[in-house]
Structure formats: C-alpha cells, structure tokens
Amino acid sequence: MRKPIIAGNWKMNNTASEGAELVKALKPLVKDAKCEVVVCVPAIDIPAVKKAIHGSKIRLGAQNVHFAEKGAYTGEISANMLKEYGVQYVIIGHSERRAYFGETDETVNKRTLAALAAGLTPIVCIGESLEEREGGLTQKVLDNQIALDFQGIEDFSKIVIAYEPIWAIGTGRTATDEQANETIGYIRKRMKKVYAGKNVGRMRIQYGGSMNAKNCKGLMAQPEIDGGLIGGASLKTADFAAIVNFDK
C-alpha cells in the first residue's frame, strides 16, 4: 500500500508569525488524518513552524535545497542545514523554479541526490506546459524528465513525485480526474521500465495542478493518484483540512 501524502506549498506567503498561526489552527482539524500531512514553508518560517507543529501529525517541508554541502553559494541553503532544523521533506524542481530561476533537469537531479544523502524526502516536480500538451508532447516531455531528473537514485520508495501540469497551476484550470490519473499512470509505468528493480512500485506520485477542497475527492479516488501538492488552497486552513480529510 502507498500511503497518501498531502503537502501544502506555501510558496512566498506567510511571515513566520502568520505561518505559526496557520498551523496552530490546522492542527486540531487534521489530528485524525489517515494520510501524511506536510507543510512546505519559506525557509525563514521553518523555526517558527517547527515549534508550532510540535506534537501534531503535521510534518515540516522546505521549498528548495542546494546541491552542495557548503561553500560560496550566497543565499542558498544546504540539505544538512534543513535537516538540523527538523525538515523532513523538500520540494525540488517546481515549475516556478524552472521558469523563473533557471532550474534545469541537471540541477534537479543534483538537488535530489543531495536531499537523499542528507536523509530528506524529495518531492520532485515534473510536468508539461499547455503548448506541449496541446502539441501532443506530454509523454515525450515526461520521458525526458524521467530520464534526467532521477539518475543515480537506488531506492525510489524514498522519493515522491509531484506531477504538475504547468497549464493547471494558478490558472483555475484543472486536469480532469481521468486525465490526471492517466498521466500519473503513464509516469509510474515509465519509471518502472527505466528504473526497474529500484523499488519504483512503492514510490508515491502526487497530483500538483490546482487540487482544492471541491475537486480533491474525485482526484483522490483515482487509483494512480497518491496525494496532492497543494498551492493556494494550502493557505486557507479550512480548505487544506478538507483536502487532508478527503476520505471523510
């Protein structure tokens, strides 16, 4: 069985005090959650949120990590720095990082390996643009990302993939339940072929394209979908709790 995982990506939202208040309000609402619950917060919020989630089921995640252990990388944060602060998960290769900050498949791979080496669980984002989907290139794009982003990984039960159709992020558009399930099923099938014998069957794949309180039940009912990487809805306590409690 693959345990579902619902992870909130706050992006560049919430000060430390705002973030602490949000998770304090969230804690009683998700205390009976049957899935893993993660909040991926801005780096500066990590100490306050760590304190606020103490004693709850909520796990702490970061939104990026550098691939070097240390060095002259002004403004960057290493995996060991995150680990020492109690971070357990880290988002890698989000479409916004790729689009705005020059993230490449090569650097996604290096960051993923660094996170694993430090004992963090990477949430690695892959997905296609609207132009690529409409051009019939979805599988080709995913094949390329699968081939490059995951080189050198020996145990895929230790990572999470977030399939994020870029055309459905922050646009209000969402893939249908069937579209999301079909594409995630393709990713799983392709991963098993490319990385056979490396525990791919235990790897979880989230949907990361505008999952919200209204559409979560339909998406989570699909057999290939193991959870969600939640953007805007994770900033609203009631909405995020509704997604976490999708099975109720």
Which 3 state secondary structure label does DSSP give 126? strand
> Domains in the chain, ordered, with CATH?
5-238 (3.20.20.70)
pLDDT digits (tens, 9 = 90+) for 16-35: 999 999 999 999 999 999 99
Annotated catalytic residue, options 36, 94, 128, 132: 94
State the Rg of the chain over Cα: 17
Q: Is 94 a catalytic residue?
A: yes
Annotated catalytic residue, options 96, 103, 132, 164: 164
The C-alpha atoms of residue 133 and residue 163 are separated, in whole angstroms, by 13
User: What's the pTM?
Assistant: 0.96
pLDDT digits (tens, 9 = 90+) for 77-115: 999 999 999 999 999 999 999 999 999 999 999 999 999
Q: Is 54 a catalytic residue?
A: no
Which 3 state secondary structure label does DSSP give 96? helix
**Confidence band of 68 (pLDDT split at 50, 70, 90):** very high
